[in-house]
Structure formats: structure tokens, C-alpha cells
Amino acid sequence: MAVYRQPGTVITDHTFQVPLDHADPGGERIEVYAREVVAAGKERDPLPWLLFLQGGPGGRSPRPLGRDGWLTRALDDYRVLLLDQRGTGRSTPANRQTLPLRGDASAQARYLEHFRADSIVRDCELIRRELLGEDGRWSLLGQSYGGFCTLTYLSFAPEGVREAFVTGGLAGLRSTAEDVYRAAYPRVERKTAAHYARYPEDVETVRAVVRHLREREVRLPGGGLLTAEAFQVTGMLLGTGTGSHTLHYLLEDAFVTGGSGLQLSDSFLAEVQGHLSFAGNPLYAVLHESIYGQRSVSPRATGWAAESVRAEFPQFDVDKPLADDAPVLLTGEMIYPWMFALDPALAPLRETAHHLAQHEEWPDLYDPDQLARNEVPVAAAVYHDDMYVDTADSLATARSVRGLRTWVTDEYEHDGLRVSGGRVLDRLIRLARGEL
């Protein structure tokens, strides 16, 4: 167990052996990694624990650089545990390199069926008992998908939770994948319109990029194919506080005149690849729609919901605006089957993802009855017109969880926890304690 220091903090590495399938505790085991962070000088203090549940799915925990970001506030009161959820970071990895060890695509999909929020929460409960003892309770901080996991925790293991904080992560308890995307496309359209209002010159630049991609094949530095539809996915940036500005600067460097005439610049393509590649978090793409599967809501497969629902919003077609001299809409947090053909990090997992998309009868992730009688203090930041998580769904869920207090704000976007320097977390701590 390694212990090391960074500015203002002491960090301890932990690894835990957990069952792949918690219904079969004597079966195969995998490793889950977590990083304990405590303020320097408080290493031996009996501090309460705060478990951080990262967004995603498929995102590893933050890699701290000393006492920075929201940790600045958290370490005043807590000993923090940054969890690499199963399959991510330093936990037993699940990606194009490791999953073939499981067998064919069907076997890989069966393996990944154990990587949703229900399994993550059961991992956390084993870790809690090992670190805190059977009767110990800890606090939860769930960002985005981590908030989904927090609702699962409060549904099935509330006895392990002292208090919970959620930032941009109150999922719709009864929403299907189709419901999620049917609400998402209009939000993305609004975000695109707001970007073009801020940077009107980007309307023509985006059109020029899309036209260029329609006329010729363009490869990214890593070998992936950049199509017009793939470029639309850069709209994912528009859900963060500085994302519109980041996109504008990306577009500034889009073209260069070379020996063969006007072409997309290497710097532009390298940056686009950084935004579009799933090499660092393949589970985000592979598991994305399955996080909405619940048999009591719909026993059917989630399918490729973002793709099928997109047909209801023809304004997202790229060819019609080119023909009509109209702005091209960007897209957001949608996973499409063609991504598994274009991205080299996803291509080997194409059939695996298809098996998961066709899987039926996903176990429920939330227990509305338990949440309705919840006794754990819960405070949640709900971001006005959050591009990633529907605000209406979040507020409906807030009303369904007994005692949950919300802070609805348009001061921050979905990344408010990360960029606020601890202010968002401080507000939620004070809400949960009844100080506000």
C-alpha cells in the first residue's frame, strides 16, 4: 500500500478484490482501485470519509495535483476516497486490449453486464466495510453519472450512507433511453444556437468543415475516419462552462492552404481527435445507453436509442442545411453505432456493443419506494438547462426522494463541481447540514 505526498495532501493507494458478479461471491474476482486523500497534518485524525463517484460511465476518478479544485473544500472536513469504478483507471481494465481475453463478443457483453451502477454500489459496500467497519457510514459525492450511482446507493444500501451530495446527476427514475434522448436533442439545439449567437462567424466555419468532410475522406492522426456526423459530436463541448469558447478556438485553426489547396490543418485534426476519441474511456461508449435500462420501466432492449430518436429531429441532418445555406447543428452526449466503425479504440468492440444494445430485462437501478422514505440527508446541484442531464427529470426525481434539497442554478454548467474551486460543494454541504 503506497503512501506519498503532494502539496498539502497525503495520498494512500488502496486495492480491493471484489466479485465480478455479486450474486456469485465465490466466483471470479476483479480488482478495484481507490486513492485515499487527506489534508497534510490530518493523517491520523478520525475524519469522516467522503466517497467520490465519478461521472461517465467509464470515467476514472480525478488525478489530484495536491490540494486543488473541489478537494480544497472537501479536505477541510473529510478523508476523501477517489474510486476508479470497475473497469476504469487502475482497476481491472475493460477495453479493446483486455476484453478479447473474455472470449467472443457475446462473452464480452455478458462480462460487461456486471459494470453498471448496481455492481459499482456493491463494490462500494464491500470497500466501506473493509475501511470503516460493518457499522461505519460515509458521505457520498456523485458527479453526473456518479449522481446516478448515488441514487442507486440510496435505493439499495442507504444504511451505509451518512449524507449525499449530487452535482448534475439526478437521473430520471422512470426514464427510458428513448425518453432521455428525446429530451436531449432540443437542449443540444438550444446550446448550438447560443454558441452561434456568441460567435456568429462560426456558422460559416462549421458549414465549411462539414462541406469539406462531405467531399473527401479525412483521417485523424490516429487513423480514425472523420466524417461530417463525427464532427458534429464536438457539440459535446457546449455543455461545459468554457466549452463554447473552446469550440470557437478549435474552429479558428480549422483550415490551412497547402500544396493541394485548402485542407483541414494538422493542429485542428489533432485537437478534434482529442475530443472525439474514446481511447481513454471506451466504456463510456460501450455502456452508455445501458445505464438507462430497467426492466420495470421497459423490459425491451435499449437498442441504439440515440440513433433511432435522432430520426425524429431531421434538423440535425447535415446535408439539408448545406443545401439551404442554414446553420449546421451539432450534437451532444449521444452514442451512435457508426462510432464503432470510425474510432480505432472502439472498432474491436463493435459487436460487443451491439450485443449490449440488444440485451433485454436489465435489472432495476432505482427503488422509488425506498427513495420515497429516504432518511439520508441529500443535497443536489441542478444546473439550469443542463445539456447532459435533463433538468425536468432532475427536479421530478428531487421531488421523489424524501428530504432531498436542491440548489437550482444557472451560474454553472454541468462541470460546476470541477471549475468552481469548491464553491458548489460548499453550498451542498451547508444545504445538507441545514445551514441554508
pLDDT digits (tens, 9 = 90+) for 326-365: 999 999 999 999 999 999 999 999 999 999 999 999 999 9
* pLDDT over 80 (residue 174): yes
Q: What length is written for the chain?
A: 436
pLDDT-based confidence at 1, cuts 50/70/90? confident
| Annotated catalytic residue, options 91, 119, 139, 144 | 144
As a whole number, mean pLDDT of residues 365-390 equals: 97
Residue 229 has a pLDDT of 98
Residue 181 has a pLDDT of 98
| Annotated catalytic residue, options 212, 288, 355, 414 | 414
* pLDDT over 80 (residue 280): yes
As a whole number, mean pLDDT of residues 255-268 equals: 92
Does 386 participate in catalysis according to the annotation? yes
Q: Which three cell numbers stand for residue 72?
A: 480544497
Cβ neighbors of 340 (< 8 A, separation 6 or more) are: 285, 346, 347, 349, 350, 353
* pLDDT over 90 (residue 208): yes
Measured between alpha carbons, how far is residue 303 from residues 152, 387, 404, 429 in Å? 23, 22, 33, 39
As a whole number, mean pLDDT of residues 4-16 equals: 96
Rg (CA), the chain: 22
* pLDDT over 90 (residue 103): yes
As a whole number, mean pLDDT of residues 15-20 equals: 98
* pLDDT over 90 (residue 258): no
Could you count the other beta carbons within 10 Å of the beta carbon of residue 342? 18
* pLDDT over 90 (residue 259): no
As a whole number, mean pLDDT of residues 207-230 equals: 97
Domain boundaries along the sequence of the chain: 3-173+366-432, 177-357
Task: For residue 33, list its beta bridge partners.
Answer: 15, 84
Tell me whether residue 249 is exposed, middle or buried, using C-beta atoms within 10 angstroms of its C-beta: 0 to 12, 13 to 18, 19 or more: exposed
* pLDDT over 80 (residue 98): yes
- C-alpha torsion angle, residues 364, 365, 366, 370 (rounded to 10): 80
Q: What is the pTM of this model?
A: 0.97
Cβ neighbors of 104 (< 8 A, separation 6 or more) are: none
Backbone angles phi, psi at 30, to 5 degrees: -125, 170
Query: Mean of the per-residue pLDDT values for the chain?
Result: 97
Residue 271 has a pLDDT of 98
As a whole number, mean pLDDT of residues 107-133 equals: 98
* pLDDT over 90 (residue 436): no
pLDDT-based confidence at 184, cuts 50/70/90? very high
| Beta strands 404-409; 378-383: pairing state | parallel
pLDDT digits (tens, 9 = 90+) for 138-172: 999 999 999 999 999 999 999 999 999 999 999 99
> Which among 36, 48, 47 has a CA at the least distance from the CA of 9?
36
Residue 417 has a pLDDT of 97
Residue 155 has a pLDDT of 98
Please work out, in degrees rounded to the nearest 5, the angle formed at the alpha carbon of residue 397 by the alpha carbons of 391 and 401.
Answer: 145
As a whole number of angstroms, the distance between CA 412 and CA 168 comes to: 10
As a whole number of angstroms, the distance between CA 319 and CA 353 comes to: 28
Is residue 165 within 8 A of residue 428, CB to CB? The reply is yes
As a whole number of angstroms, the distance between CA 180 and CA 170 comes to: 12
pLDDT digits (tens, 9 = 90+) for 29-83: 999 999 999 999 999 999 999 999 999 999 999 999 999 999 999 999 999 999 9
* pLDDT over 90 (residue 260): no
As a whole number of angstroms, the distance between CA 365 and CA 153 comes to: 9
Residue 154 has a pLDDT of 98
As a whole number of angstroms, the distance between CA 336 and CA 413 comes to: 24
As a whole number, mean pLDDT of residues 372-399 equals: 97
As a whole number of angstroms, the distance between CA 39 and CA 329 comes to: 46
Residue 19 has a pLDDT of 98
| Annotated catalytic residue, options 386, 390, 393, 415 | 386
Domain 3-173+366-432 has CATH 3.40.50.1820: yes
As a whole number, mean pLDDT of residues 270-294 equals: 97
| Beta strands 79-84; 138-143: pairing state | unpaired
